[in-house]
Structure 1
Amino acid sequence: METGLLVAYLALCSMAVGPIYYGSFASIKWPKKKKSKKEPQPPESDSSDEEETIESLSTEDAYLFPVFGSIVLFSLYLIFKLLDKDYVNYLVNAYFSFLGIIALTSLGAHMVRNFSGIKADAYKFTLTKKSKEIYRASFTVIHIGALILSFFLTAYYIVTKNWIASNLFGLAFAFNGIKMLSLDSFKTGMILLGGLFFYDIFWVFGTEVMVTVAKSFDAPIKVVWPKKIIGLESDEALQFTMLGLGDIVVPGIYVALCLRFDHNLYLKKNPTATKHSSFPTTYFNSCFAAYIIGLITTIVVMHTFKAAQPALLYLSPACIISVLITGVIRGELKDIFKYSSDDENTEEEETKDKSVADAVTEEEYVEVESSATATGGAKNRKNKKNTKKKTGSDRA
C-alpha cells in the first residue's frame, strides 16, 4: 500500500472517531445541583449548552428513517439527472453554508470552553408574543467570536471550495448531530441501525444511485482526504477517498447512547455525583472500539476489491453486537432493554419539581416565622402598654 493512501485512510478514521468521541461526551446532561434559597446565587455563565434543544428519535422514527432516506436519496438522484448540476449545487451550497455557520459557531464555542477553560457570562435573548415565549437563546462573547470566525471560513469555502474547509463543515455537522440527536432506547437504536444496514446494501450494491449522488453532491456532507499528496494544489488535480457523514452520525448517536447508559448506571449508584466526576464507560468503550474495528474492516474491503462499500454493512452489526455481548457478560441485558432516555427526563423533572417545592416550603417557613415574630412583637407592645396603664392606675 502506498504511503499517501495509508495516510488518507488514517485521516478518514481520525475524522470519523473524533466527532463521535467528543459529541458523545457533549451529549451528557448532568443533573443540576439543588441549591438552598439562603445560599448566594452565582452569576450565570456559559449556560447555553444546557438550554439547547435535544431531538429524540423514537421507535416509530427509526422504522420510517430508511423509508424517508430512500425517498430523499432517489429524489436527489433524479434532480441531478434532470436538472443542471451546477445550478442545483449552487442552491445546495447556499443552504449548507447557512447551516454551516451555525454548526461551526457551536463547535468553536464548545472547543474554546472545554479546552481553554475560559468562562464567560451568558446573555439571554427571549422572543415573546402576548406573554407566550416563541424563541429563546443564550450566548456568550465566546459564541460571538466563533460566529465571526465562522463567517470568514464560510466565505472562504464558498469562493474556493477548498476540501479542508469542506471537512471543517463536515466535522461540525457530525459533532452537532451526535450532540443534539438522541435515541430514546437501545431498541430504537438497533432498529435504526438494522434498517439502515439493508438501506445501505440496496442503494450501494443494488443501484448506482448512492455513488452517483455522493459524487455529484458538491456540499459538505462527507469528509475527504487526497489519496497521494497532502493536498496543497488545486482540488481538481487531486483524487480523494471519502466517508459520508451518515456513516459517522448514525453509529455515533448509538455510541453516545451507550455513554449515556453508562452515565445513568453511575448516577443510580452515586446520586450526589457532580459534573466533574469521572464514571465507568464500559458500554461506550465497547461500542466505540467496535465502531473503529468496523470502520477499519470497511476500508480494508474497499481497498482490496477497489469498489465503494456500504460502511453500515460493517458498522451496524459491530455496534449492535458489542453492546449485546457486553450486556451478557455483565448480566445487564435486561437493564439495556429497559433503559429509556425518558427516564432521565422524568428524573430531571422530578428533581426540578422537588427543588421548587422545597423552595416554596422554605419561603412559607420564612413567612410564618416572620408572621410569628411580628405577632410576638405586637403582643409584647400590647403587654407593655397594658402594664403602663396598670401602673398608672395603681399610682392614682
Structure 2
Amino acid sequence: MNTTSNFYQGDSPALQYIGSWGASLWDNRDMYQMQLHLLLASLFPIYIGAHAALRRPASALQPKKEPSTDGDDDEIDLEPAIEGLRPSDAIMFPVLASITLGGLYLLIKWLNDPSLLNKIMTWYFSTLGVFGVGKLAGDSLHVMSSFIFPSVWSDGKQLYRVEPEFQIQVTGESSRNQPHRTITEKKNPLPSFFSSISFGEATNTKLWSTRALLKNHWIFRGYLHGLLNTKLRVTFHDVAGLALGLVAIIAYNTSGKAWWLTNLMGFGFCYGAFQIMSPTTFWTGSLVLMGLFIYDIVMVFYTPMMVTVATTLDVPIKLVFPGPKHGGMLGLGDVVLPGIMMALALRFDLYLHYARKHLQHEQKQKALYIEATGLWGERFWTSSSKEKNVADAARFPKTYFKASVVGYVVGMLTTLVVLNYFKHAQPALLYLVPGVLISLWGTAWVRGEMELMWGYTEDGSLDDGEGSEELTKEEVEKKAEERESRRSKEHANHVFLFSLSDPKHDLPKAKLVDGEKEE
C-alpha cells in the first residue's frame, strides 16, 4: 500500500484522484454490488409487469370474436378486472397506510415478542403468494415456450409461419388479400436452423403435440351449489405456474425464508399488482404519489414506526439483498407505487401508437388491435425480418415509459447516494416520486402533449365503441340472465363440480397453399 501511495504522489493530481477513487471503489465493491442488485431487482418486476399489463387502448378497434363451438365459451370475459384509482384515493391512501403502520407498530410494542405476529402474517401473505408467484411463473413459462415454439420466425431473407393445423411451415403473406403460400420442407415446429434438423416422424409428431399442449387453452369449470359458478380459460402454463407457486411457498416456509424466495414472492406481488391496479389518469396517479411522498417522509424521518416495522417483521412485503452490514432492503411500495404510473405510461405509449396509425393512414375507422403481450420469442426470432408479422404489435415507440424508467433510475441512485452519505434509512419515495413524475410530465411538456396526457383516461370514456356491438342496459341484463339460466341448467344435477376440459374445435378451414385448395 505504501508503494501505491508513493506512486500516486509522483503523478498528477488528476491521476491521484482517479487512483484513490478506484481504490475506494475496489474496497467497497461488495456494497456497490449489493446496491446494483437492488437497482436491477426493483426494475425487473416493473418492466415485465408493465408489459404484461398492456391491453387494447381506446384508440384501437376491438377484434371481432370468432364464433365458438363450445357452448358459451365465447362469453368468457378475458379482459382483466382493473381496480382504477380515484382522486379521493390521494387522501385515503396515506391515511389508511398510516393507520395500518401505526397499528402494526403498537402491536409490536405490545407483544414484545413479534414471533406470533410474524407467523400469522407470513401464512397470510403465503396464501396470496401462491397466486402471485403462480401468475409470474405461468407467464414466464409462456414466454419461454414462445422462444422454443414461436408462431413466426425469420432467417433474414424469408419469414416463416408455423401452421399447427396442418403441421407445416409456410412462407408468403398471410393476409386475406394474399392467401397463396408456399409449403416448405420443414417438418417440425422449431425455428431457425433447428427447423432444418431431420427428426424422425415419431419425434416430429411429439414436437407438434408438445407445441399444441403449450399453446392451446382448456376450459375450467367450477361449481359449488349456492356458492360458486365459474368458467375460465386456462392453459398448461397457468396450471404449471400455479403448481410452481405452491412449491415456492412451501419451500419459503420450510427453508428458513431464504432471501431469494422472499424476493420471488415480492416479484409475484408486484407483478400481479400492475395487472389489477391502474391510476386511471396521470393526474390522479400524480396526486396519489404526492400524498404517499409526504407520508413516507413523515413516517421515516419524524416517527420510528416505518423503520421499526420494516426491521421487525420478517414477512415477504419487501425485497432483501445480502451484503455487508446486514445487507439492504426495499419495501414493495417503493416498487409498486411508482410502477403503476410507469405501467400507465407504457399503455399511454400504446394508445398514442394506434392513434397515430389512424391519423397517418387516414383510415375511416381505427386500426385493428393486435395482442401485444407474450410475444418475446416472436420478437427475438423476427428481429432481422423486414416483412410485417404478428411481433410488430409489440414493437411500438415507448417514449413515455423509457422516460419514466430513466426518472426511476435517477431517483433510486439518488436514494443510494444519500443513504451512503448520511448512513441512515431513507424514504425511497422522497426521490422516486419526483424522479418519475418530473420525467413523465417533463416529457409531455417538451413534446407539446401536456393536454393530451392530462386528458388520457382508462375509465372507458375515450372508447367510442366503434366497431363493437352497442348494447343497452336492459339488453346487457337480459344476456346476463340468459347466461345464468343456461349455466343453472348445465349444473342442474350437480352439487360439487371442478373440471378441466379441452374445448370443442371446428375442423380447419380450407386454405390456399401453392395455389391449390387444401382441406
Q: Please tell me the TM-score bracket, short chain as reference.
A: 0.7 to 0.9
| Cα offset, 1:346, TM superposition | 3.7
Q: How does 1:31-50 map to 2 (within 5 A)?
A: 32-35=62-65, 50=78
1:96 maps to amino acid: F
Is 2:335 the counterpart of 1:248?
A: yes
> What's 1:140 paired with?
235
* Alpha-carbon distance in structure 2 between the residues aligned to 1:62 and 1:314: 18
- Structure having the higher helix fraction is 1
* Alpha-carbon distance in structure 2 between the residues aligned to 1:112 and 1:85: 38
| Cα offset, 1:55, TM superposition | 1.3
Change (3 A) 1:116 1:42: farther
- Over the aligned positions, Cα root-mean-square deviation in angstroms equals 2.8
Residues 63, 369 of structure 2: 8 Å contact kept: no
Q: How does 1:192-341 map to 2 (within 5 A)?
A: 192-228=288-324, 239-270=326-357, 271-275=367-371, 276=391, 277=393, 278-341=395-458
Is 2:143 the counterpart of 1:26?
A: no
* Alpha-carbon distance in structure 2 between the residues aligned to 1:86 and 1:350: 57
Number of equivalent positions: 342
2:64 maps to amino acid: K
% same residue:
35
Is 2:89 the counterpart of 1:58?
A: no
| Cα offset, 1:303, TM superposition | 1.1
1:272 maps to amino acid: L
Q: How does 1:96-107 map to 2 (within 5 A)?
A: 96-107=125-136
> What's 1:235 paired with?
none
- Normalised to the residue count of structure 1, the TM-score between the two structures is 0.80
| Cα offset, 1:300, TM superposition | 1.0
Change (3 A) 1:215 1:282: same
CA deviations 1:262-290 (Å, max 9, x no partner) are 11111223323422412111111111110
Q: How does 1:67-82 map to 2 (within 5 A)?
A: 67-82=95-110
CA deviations 1:210-249 (Å, max 9, x no partner) are 0000001111111111114xxxxxxxxx822011100000
Residues 251, 315 of structure 1: 8 Å contact kept: yes
Residues 63, 195 of structure 1: 8 Å contact kept: yes
| Cα offset, 1:136, TM superposition | 4.7
Residues 259, 322 of structure 2: 8 Å contact kept: no
Q: Secondary structure of 2:142's partner? A: helix
Higher relative contact order (Cα pairs below 8 Å, separated by 6+ residues): 2
| Cα offset, 1:54, TM superposition | 1.6
Residues 51, 138 of structure 1: 8 Å contact kept: no
> What's 2:497 paired with?
none
Q: Which runs of 5+ in 1 are unaligned?
A: 229-237, 357-396
Is 2:269 the counterpart of 1:173?
A: yes
1:288 maps to amino acid: V
* Alpha-carbon distance in structure 2 between the residues aligned to 1:227 and 1:108: 27
Change (3 A) 1:65 1:127: farther
Q: Secondary structure of 1:220's partner? A: coil
Among 257, 266, 289, the residue aligned to 1:161: 257
CA deviations 1:277-336 (Å, max 9, x no partner) are 121111111111101110111011101111100000001111111111111111110011
- Normalised to the residue count of structure 2, the TM-score between the two structures is 0.61
Higher-Rg member (1/2): 1
1:260 maps to amino acid: R
2:322 maps to amino acid: P
Residues 44, 122 of structure 1: 8 Å contact kept: no
| Cα offset, 1:108, TM superposition | 0.6
| Cα offset, 1:143, TM superposition | 1.7
1:322 maps to amino acid: S
* Alpha-carbon distance in structure 2 between the residues aligned to 1:94 and 1:201: 30
Q: Which contiguous aligned blocks of 4+ residues in structure 1 show a shift greater than 4 angstroms?
A: 40-45, 126-130, 132-136
Q: Secondary structure of 1:322's partner? A: helix
> What's 2:387 paired with?
none
Residues 89, 219 of structure 1: 8 Å contact kept: yes
